[in-house]
Amino acid sequence: MSAAEADVVRPLQWIDKPENDHTDGETKAAFVDTLELPGWCIDYDRAATITGYAQISVGGPEKCNCDACRNWALTRDAILPREMRALLDRLGVPCGKECEVYHVCRLQSGLHSYGGWYHFVGCVNYGEKEVSPNVAIGPFSMYFFAGGALLPKPFDGLHTVQLDFVAEVPWLSNVPEAP
Ligand SMILES: [Zn+2]
């Protein structure tokens, strides 16, 4: 570029990025899709989430391998309601790749109280735990928040949302039943 052209370009760049503009890196990422649920509005990027999960070989329960996790891993396909799988699929989350699953206890009903969470690329536009109603799908109850605990490496530096769930589910495997 000639000196004359450079003179023209520089002032324009100044206009685009004034010195007092500190929004770089903080600007809200633009997401392609929006999930709307009662009390919630969540933007997400399915393709980016799928790309991230492609680098994660197994889910949290498989890594832990305690009795409660083994039971979960062996029976999650039967436990997760179709609507929940559809929701996860829409977000780009493989249902077998929970970040963590934890067993709370065997309830008096004979069902087991479990909790766990998934991450996906996106942001919570609207909605907040204990303000918005939990999203209920069958025995699952869930809510969303920005960021997340134990975020897997492939999602480092991305805008992420944690889908946190609790569920009361039967113990369906032959693994010795946890108390
Ligand atoms: Zn475990």
Ligand 1: distance of its center to the CA of 137 in Å?
Answer: 23
Q: Return the pLDDT at 28.
A: 56
The residues that bridge with 102 in the sheet, in sequence order, are 115
Mean pLDDT across the stretch 16-21? 38
CB of 112 closer than 8 Å to CB of 169: yes
Ligand 1: distance of its center to the CA of 69 in Å?
Answer: 4
Q: Is the pLDDT of residue 19 over 50?
A: no
Rounded CA gap, 163 and 175, in Å? 27
For 36-66, write each residue's pLDDT tens digit. Answer: 999 999 999 999 999 999 999 999 999 999 9
Alpha carbon distance, N-terminus to C-terminus of the chain: 74
For 95-150, write each residue's pLDDT tens digit. Answer: 999 999 999 999 999 999 999 999 999 999 999 999 999 999 999 999 999 988 99
Ligand 1: distance of its center to the CA of 76 in Å?
Answer: 14
Q: Return the pLDDT at 148.
A: 87
Ligand 1: distance of its center to the CA of 73 in Å?
Answer: 10
Q: Is the pLDDT of residue 84 over 90?
A: yes
Ligand 1: distance of its center to the CA of 46 in Å?
Answer: 28
Whole-model pTM above 0.85?
no
Ligand 1: distance of its center to the CA of 122 in Å?
Answer: 27
Ligand 1: distance of its center to the CA of 102 in Å?
Answer: 6
Which tokens sit at 98? Answer: 């929970």
